[in-house]
Structure 1
Amino acid sequence: MSSGIQNKVVVITGASSGLGAETARHLAKAGAHVVLGARRIERLETLARELRLNPEAIQKTDVTDRSQVKSLVERAVTLHGRVDVLLNNAGLMPSSMLDKLKVDEWDRMIDVNIKGVLYGIAAVLPHMQKQMSGQIINVSSVAGHKVGPGGSVYAGTKWAVRAISEGLRQEVKPWNIRTTIVSPGAVATELISTITDSDIAAGMAKTYERAIPPSSFARVVEFAISQPEDVDINEVLFRPTSQVY
C-alpha cells in the first residue's frame, strides 16, 4: 500500500450525512475507493449518484449489529480485494442531565458509540493483519477530553473510544497497522438534533452557532491517511477558533 490517498480502499460508517458524507466526498475526489455504510440507505444512494460510485459501494448498515458491520467490510474486500482504512464515524449525542434518567438514550449511545467502534475493529482487523497493513480511524470528541454537565454519558463513550484506540495502537504494531483518533469540537453536523433534553439542547445550540463546516473534519482525516507508511498520526484534537471549552 503506497502513501497518499490514490486507490486506497476506505470504509466509512455513518456516511449518509455530516462528517461521514463530507469525508467520502473529499477522499473520492482524492482518488480513494470509498465503500459507505449507514442506516439511511436513501441518503447513501443520493451520495453515491453524486460521487458516481458503483451502486455496490454502498450498503445499509446499523453499527449496533455486528453482522451488518462485518458485511460492509466484506463488501469492500469483495469489490477491491482489500480494505486499507476504516473510518469508524457513526455516532450519537443525545446529551442530558443524569437525573432526567434517559436510560434508553444512554443505552443507545453505548451501543452506537462504543460497541459500533468495536464491531468495526473486529470486522477489519483480520483483513489488515493478513495484509500486514491498514489504518483504523476512530472518532472521539472534545468530550473525550473534557466532561461537562449534561455530557456525562456521551463523554464516557468518547473517553472509551480513546482508551480502546490507544490499546489498539499498542497491540497492532506487529502488523504495521496505523491508528488515529479524531476528536472534533463544534463541527456542523446533525448530532445536536438527537438531544431531547430541552435545557441541554438550548445550550448546545448556542455553542454550535459558530460551528465550523464538516470539511474541516474531512481535511483532518485526509491528512492522517495521506502520510507515508512510517508516519502514524495517532490523535488530532481540533475546535473552532472561537470555541472556549
Structure 2
Amino acid sequence: MTYDLNNRTAVVTGAASGIGAETALVLARSGARVALLARRAERVADLAEKIRAEGGQALAVAADVTKDLSGAVEAVHAGFGRVDLVVNNAGVMLGNPLTEGRDDEWDRMIDTNLKGLLNVTRVFTSDLVEAGREGAADLVNISSVAAHQTFPNYAVYTATKAAVTHLSANLRTELGALGVRVTNIEPGLVHSELPDHIDNPDVSADLTTWRDAVPPLAAADIADVVGFTTSRPKHVNLRQLVVLPTVQV
C-alpha cells in the first residue's frame, strides 16, 4: 500500500531490519525522501540502494541513537534538508528474570528504547516545529502493547515501553500546539529480529512457543499503519494506535 507523502522528508531509526526497514520502504514508495538511521551501515546502505533502484530517494546514515547524533543530523540536512517526519523505531528486547540481575541488559534497553528515542526527538524537534508552521509534521514513536500488559521475564523491557507510551502522550501536550502531530503505535506480536537478541534459552523457548500459537504480524503490517497515519490531513492526529494479530488477546 502506498500513500501521498510527496515532498515529505523522513528519518527512520532502526532502519536496518524489521519494522524500521519496512517503514522506510512504505514512506519512500509513497514519495517521501527517507534517511535511514541504524548502527549496521551495510544493511542501511543496501536498503538505500534498493529504494533508489525503485525510483525513490533514500540516504543511508550509520548512527547509534544512544550516542552523539550531531554528525547524523548534519548528514541528513546536507542530503535532504529539513525533516518533517520522524519515526522512532530503534529498540531492543532482552528477556530475563529480574532475579538474574542483568544490569547490562537493563542499561542497553533503557539507553536504546528510551534515551535513544529522546536523543533523536531532541535533535529533530526544531525541524518538526518549523515544518509544522507550514504543513504536516509528524513524530511517530513505536512502543508496544507491553506498555500495558505484563509478561514474565520482560519487566525492564515492558517498563521502557510504558515510558515511551507515557512520554508520547506528554510530548503531544507540548508539540501539538506547535503543529507537530505525535503518534504512539503499540504493536502486538510482530515477526522481527528482536527475539534473536535474547540469550536465555528458556525465555527464548517460551517466546517461540507463544509465536507458534499466535502467528505474528509482518513488519510490513506496522509499516502500513505508519504510512496511513502520517498521510492524514494536517489537522488530523491519530494519537494512539494498538495493532494486534487478530487472534492475540
TM-score by length of 1: 0.93
Normalised by the length of structure 2, the TM-score is 0.91
Structure 1 residue 77, shift from structure 2 partner:
2.5
Distance between the aligned counterparts of 1:105 and 1:189, measured in 2? Answer: 19
Match of 1:117 in 2: 117
- Kept in 1: contact 2:41–2:61 (CA 8 A): yes
Give CA-to-partner distance per residue, 1:119-169, whole Å, 9 cap, x none.
011011112223325211011001011122111100000000011111100
**Structure 2: distance between partners of 1:34 and 1:178:** 18
- Distance in 2 between the 1:71 and 1:234 partners? 31
Partner Cα distance (2:59, 2:166) in 1: 31
Q: How does 1:111-190 map to 2 (within 5 A)?
A: 111-131=111-131, 132=133, 134-190=137-193
Tell me which residue corresponds to 1:15.
15
The CA distance in 1 between the partners of 2:84 and 2:115, in whole Å, is 21
Contact preservation (8 Å) 1:4, 1:228: no
1:87-139 deviations in Å (ceiling 9; x for gaps): 00000001111011111001100000000110011011112223325211011
Matches of 1:74 and 1:174 in 2, distance apart? 27
Q: Quote the residue 1:242 is aligned against.
A: 247
In structure 1, the residue matched to 2:89 is 89
| RMSD of aligned residue pairs (Cα, Å) | 1.7
Return the alpha-carbon distance in structure 2 between the equivalents of residues 148 and 173 of structure 1. 33
2:60: which partner in 1?
A: 58
Give 5+ residue unaligned stretches, structure 1. none
Shift of residue 73 of structure 1?
Answer: 3.3
Question: Which amino acid in the other structure matches residue 48 of structure 1?
Answer: A
Percent of aligned positions that are identical: 38
- Cα distance between partner residues in 1 of 2:112 and 2:157: 11
**Number of residue pairs matched?**
240
Contact 2:4 2:31 in 1 (8 A): no
Unaligned runs of 5+ in 2: none
- Tell whether the 8 Å contact from 2:98 to 2:155 is kept in structure 1 after alignment: yes
Partner in structure 1 of residue 25 of structure 2: 25
Label 1:51 to 1:31 Cα distance change in 2 as closer, same or farther (>3 A). Answer: same
Q: Report the Cα offset of residue 232 of structure 1.
A: 0.4
**Offset at 1:7?**
2.1
Q: Which moved more, 1:48-57 or 1:171-180?
A: 48-57
1:56 offset after TM fit, Å?
A: 7.5
Of the structure 1 ranges 172-181 and 184-193, higher mean CA displacement relative to structure 2 is found in: 172-181
1:172 alignment partner, SS class:
helix
- Identify the residue that residue 195 of structure 2 maps to in structure 1: 192
Q: Report the counterpart of residue 208 of structure 2 in structure 1.
A: 205
After TM superposition, list the pairs within 5 Å mapping 1:32-111 onto structure 2: 32-52=32-52, 57-65=59-67, 67-68=68-69, 70-111=70-111
- Which moves more between the two structures, 46-55 or 85-94? 46-55
Distance 1:223 1:72 in 2: 27
Contact 1:94–1:194 (Cα < 8 Å) also in 2: yes
Flag as ranges the 4+ runs of structure 1 deviating above 4 A: 53-56
- The Cα shift of 1:22 comes to 0.8
Are the counterparts in 2 of residues 4 and 225 from structure 1 also a CA contact under 8 Å?
Answer: no
Q: Distance in 2 between matches of 1:193 and 1:139?
A: 19
Q: Distance in 2 between matches of 1:50 and 1:64?
A: 27
Q: For residues 58 and 240 of structure 2, what CA distance do their matches in structure 1 show?
A: 32
